């Protein structure tokens, strides 16, 4: 009996000593900062690489009220390729006006035209995969355009891979004025973007209803939507026009800040360059 008690006491002392040793080692590692740090995401790496890129995007991309939107659209350059009108001045049939007003009400109250339901987002990924293969790569898609689009891949970083692309839009002198590109990261994040050149030669001009504007992106009117995918991932949409370019961006799996940082980067590049075809 005595031997049993002695064995239990010895076993307890061993366990206690081991716990104290392990705790001491962990505290030492913490104080000396030798534990490996998690790697930042690829998109943040690419944004940080440009020292001019704002990490605090609150002053560059933010929601606005209806009254602020009305003032903002009045500051837009009329030569930017888009005109802003009120839905009541559209001249559309009354049933179409009422449908659009319901959409705008959903946007204000629920965060999207559809009331939170996915519509077009990532619905055509399979087709754009096929189109990229059919055209034998991005360079052949770019050769079909009458403008040079922004290098979205460079802004996203090496973690994202182009998985789909195709040209479309107005046809002028054998060239097209729009390109769609789809990207996916190694950890499953998705980005798709359509970029259109509002070509004066084709009289391409967008009509945008002022009631749809709920966001300010670098001083330009924009429409921001937030939805949720079937597997509960964040879906963000942003539509905006800068320097005769119309952009429509969607993301899945990006955080709110990551998405807006990407949008700010795109808008800054579009604003900076003249984009001579």
What is the helix (H) or strand (E) element at residue 83, kind and residue range?
A: strand 82-85
3-state secondary structure of 241: strand
Task: Identify the weakest region by mean pLDDT among 22-36, 37-51, 154-168.
Answer: 37-51
- Considering the entire predicted model, what is its pTM? 0.78
Residue 54 pLDDT exceeds 80: no
Average model confidence (pLDDT) across the chain: 82
Q: Per-residue pLDDT averaged across 222-245, rounded?
A: 93
Q: Are 206 and 42 in contact (CB under 8 A)?
A: no
Tokens 């990207």 locate to 183
What pLDDT is attached to residue 245? 94
Q: Which of 193, 209, 275 is nearest to 242 (CA)?
A: 275
- Average pLDDT for 242-248: 95
DSSP state of 80: G
**Confidence category of residue 232, pLDDT binned at 50, 70, 90:** confident
- Say if residue 2's pLDDT is above 60: no
Residue 121: the pLDDT is: 87
Find where tokens 């190694």 sit. Answer: 186
Q: Are 212 and 232 in contact (CB under 8 A)?
A: no
Q: Quick count: other Cβ atoms within 10 Å of Cβ 226?
A: 14
- pLDDT tens-place string over residues 153-194: 999 999 999 999 999 998 888 899 999 999 999 999 999 999
**Beta strand segments in 116-252, E:** 160-172, 175-185, 190-197, 206-209, 215-217, 220-228, 234-242, 245-252
Instruction: Give the Cβ contact number of residue 67 at 10 Å.
Output: 8
Q: At what angle do helices 256-272 and 42-49 cross, to 10 degrees?
A: 40
Integer CA distances (angstroms), 171 to 38, 41, 84, 124, 129, in order: 48, 39, 25, 22, 23
As a whole-number percent, the residues of the chain with pLDDT over 70 amount to 78
Least confident of 40-49, 104-113, 193-202: 40-49
d(CA 223, CA 206): 14
**In which band, very low, low, confident or very high, does the pLDDT at 18 lie, cut at 50, 70 and 90?**
very low
Lowest mean pLDDT among 48-57, 244-253, 256-265: 48-57
Q: Where are the alpha helices (DSSP H) in 42-172?
A: 42-49, 66-74, 94-110, 125-134, 138-142, 152-156
Calpha distance 98→112 (Å, rounded): 17
Look at 46-50, 239-243, 255-259, 262-266 and tell me which has the smallest mean pLDDT. Answer: 46-50
Q: Work out the pLDDT band at 87, boundaries 50, 70, 90.
A: very high
Least confident window among 29-38, 48-57, 121-130, 249-258: 29-38
Q: Are strands 61-63 and 82-85 parallel, antiparallel or unpaired?
A: unpaired
- Six-digit token string for 95: 């049933």
| pLDDT range class, residue 201, cuts 50, 70, 90 | confident
Nearest Cα to 223, choosing from 60, 64, 110? 64
Q: Could you read off the pLDDT of 92-101 as tens digits, one per residue?
A: 999 999 999 9
pLDDT at 40: 34
* Mean pLDDT of the 106-128 span: 90
pLDDT at 80 over 60: yes
Percent of the chain whose predicted confidence (pLDDT) is above 90: 63
């Amino acid at each position: 009996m005595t031997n049993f008690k002695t064995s239990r006491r010895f076993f307890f002392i061993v366990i206690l000593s081991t716990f104290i040793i392990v705790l001491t080692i962990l505290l030492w590692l913490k104080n000396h900062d030798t534990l490996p740090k998690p790697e930042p995401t690829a998109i943040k790496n690419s944004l940080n690489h440009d020292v001019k890129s704002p990490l605090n995007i609150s002053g560059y991309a933010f929601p606005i009220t209806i009254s602020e939107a009305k003032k903002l659209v009045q500051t837009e350059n009329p030569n930017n390729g888009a005109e802003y009108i009120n839905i009541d001045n559209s001249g559309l049939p009354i049933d179409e006006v009422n449908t659009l007003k319901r959409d705008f009400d959903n946007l204000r109250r629920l965060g999207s035209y559809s009331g939170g339901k996915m519509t077009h987002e990532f619905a055509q990924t399979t087709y754009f995969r096929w189109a990229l293969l059919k055209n034998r790569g991005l360079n052949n898609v770019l050769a079909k355009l009458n403008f040079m689009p922004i290098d979205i891949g460079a802004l996203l970083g090496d973690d994202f891979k182009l998985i789909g692309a195709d040209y479309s839009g107005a046809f002028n002198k054998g060239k097209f004025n729009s390109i769609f590109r789809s990207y996916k990261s190694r950890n499953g994040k998705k980005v798709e973007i359509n970029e259109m050149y509002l070509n004066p030669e084709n009289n391409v001009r967008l009509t945008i209803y002022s009631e749809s504007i709920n966001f300010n992106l670098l001083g330009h009117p924009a429409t921001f939507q937030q939805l949720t995918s079937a597997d509960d991932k964040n879906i963000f949409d942003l539509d905006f026009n800068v320097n005769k370019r119309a952009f429509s961006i969607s993301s899945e799996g990006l955080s709110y800040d990551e998405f807006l940082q990407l949008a700010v980067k795109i808008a800054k590049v579009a604003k900076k360059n003249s984009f001579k075809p």
